[in-house]
Structure 1
Amino acid sequence: MSSTSDLNQRIAARVHALRSAQGLSLDALATRCGVSRSMISLIERGESSPTAVVLERLATGLGVMLASLFDEAPAASASPVARRAEQPEWTDPQSGYVRRNLSPPGFASPIQLVEVRFPPGARVAYETTARQSPTHQQVWVIDGAMDVQLGSETHRLAAGDCLAMQLDQPIIFSNPHRQAARYLVAITAEASAIPTARRAP
């Protein structure tokens, strides 16, 4: 299992590689995603533990899915199987929610699966905007209950419920209950919309 420090270093390498692959300066990416130049620099050096909201802004600015920032760069030799011990877990320092990337690391695919444990009282607000290519997400609640607000519409989800959405408007995840929620997220986008980062020398 990857440690928080290991994941911060992986995020640092991915953000830097994706930015470099697109020829973006720190200032250009900062303008595009609404994250300060200094914060991006700290993240790329592995000296900051960014929140989920900051990472979502970076992912949007880089034209990738949030889960991609926890992944390895696509590689032709990547295994199509992700063993349980290889699936990285990351805790959002702001809300305390824990996300686990289920998809095989480095395996090129337009589909990514993520499992999330959402603590009681947690709330995460993503300022999602339209992507370069349509990005779709489905949330399937495994245990507990939670609310998902899409724009001005709120969906109350219980165990077994599944919500489909397009990532083109603000989304708020909240758990107003006393029990933690656990849910699966399936995300897909056209493969051409996911830039391939060059491996660092």
Structure 2
Amino acid sequence: MKEITAAAPLQDINKRIATRVRALRTEQGMTLEALAARCEVSRSMLSLIERGESSPTAVVLEKVATGLGVMLATLFEDTAAAPSPISHGADRTSWRDPQSGYVRRNISPENFPSPLQIVAVTLPAGARVAYETAAREVTTHQQIWMRDGAIELTLGNVTYRLGPDDCLAMQLDQPTTFRNRTRKAAHYIVVIATDRSRTARK
């Protein structure tokens, strides 16, 4: 596993995110101003992200992804990689959120057309990540499978406590907060499924 550290690889992942965001925006014919209005991220920040000159937080990237109509995991895909039905552990790259320190790693094969995405996450002891996006244009389901440790997951106004081997099924239509109140890192798998044949509830 290639892990992103404070050295040169961080710049590489920021360039990958930059390329992905710029390509997705261009494909949809959106200006920076239009995307800024959709995702509530400033035009100046979006410009920095697209130039690879910023280390955006997970919360900011999630807003950008929602504005582009994709899942957060999509922004970490390598557009230069040829689509393949298989991914190898040695080829995967981890990304660390500069705000919370949480680490995520795409598990699913890159650029392969599928309604499913699998992501492995490590949430450090005491860390908290709060995604502010509510309803999405595309119906999106997510399941969290705890592998080790424990977290609290708040969906809207409801809080779930997950321990080892617990699995939570949910629809992404409300703000979501992940919190690790323990002194031990939590490890879990996220499975995301999008149904573009149905429109999410507003």
Aligned match of 1:19: 25
Q: CA deviation at 1:11?
A: 0.4
Among residues 94, 99, 109, which one is paired with 1:94 in the alignment? Answer: 99
Among residues 60, 84, 90, which one is paired with 1:54 in the alignment? Answer: 60
- Is 1:44 equivalent to 2:21 in the alignment? no
Q: CA deviation at 1:74?
A: 9.1
In structure 2, list runs of 5 or more residues that go unmatched.
none
* Number of corresponding residues: 192
Map 1:1-201 → 2, pairs under 5 A? 1=2, 3-73=9-79, 77-190=82-195
Q: CA deviation at 1:16?
A: 0.3
Q: CA deviation at 1:191?
A: 5.3
SS in 1 for 2:138: coil
Distance 2:186 2:62 in 1: 21
Tell me the C-alpha RMSD between the 2 structures.
Answer: 1.6
**Structure 2 counterpart of 1:40, one-letter code:** L
Greater relative contact order (Cα < 8 A, sep 6+): 1
SS in 2 for 1:188: strand
1:91-118, Cα deviation, whole Å (9 max, x unpaired)? 0000000001101112111111000011
**Structure 2 counterpart of 1:129, one-letter code:** A
Q: CA deviation at 1:190?
A: 2.5
Distance 2:123 2:36 in 1: 29
Report if aligned partners of 1:74, 1:108 keep a CA contact under 8 Å in 2.
Answer: no
Distance 1:56 1:95 in 2: 14
SS in 2 for 1:190: strand
Distance 1:166 1:184 in 2: 16
Distance 1:131 1:63 in 2: 8
**Structure 1 counterpart of 2:59, one-letter code:** V
1:32-78, Cα deviation, whole Å (9 max, x unpaired)? 00000000000000000100000000011000000000013498x52
SS in 2 for 1:134: strand
Q: Identity of aligned pairs, percent?
A: 60
Distance 2:16 2:87 in 1: 17
Distance 2:84 2:27 in 1: 24
In structure 1, list runs of 5 or more residues that go unmatched.
194-201
- Runs of 4+ aligned residues of structure 1 deviating over 4 Å after TM superposition are none
Classify 1:147/1:155 alpha carbon distance in 2 versus 1 (closer, same or farther; 3 Å): same
Aligned match of 1:198: none
Distance 1:170 1:74 in 2: 32
Distance 1:149 1:45 in 2: 34
**What is the TM-score when the length of structure 1 is the normalising length?**
0.91
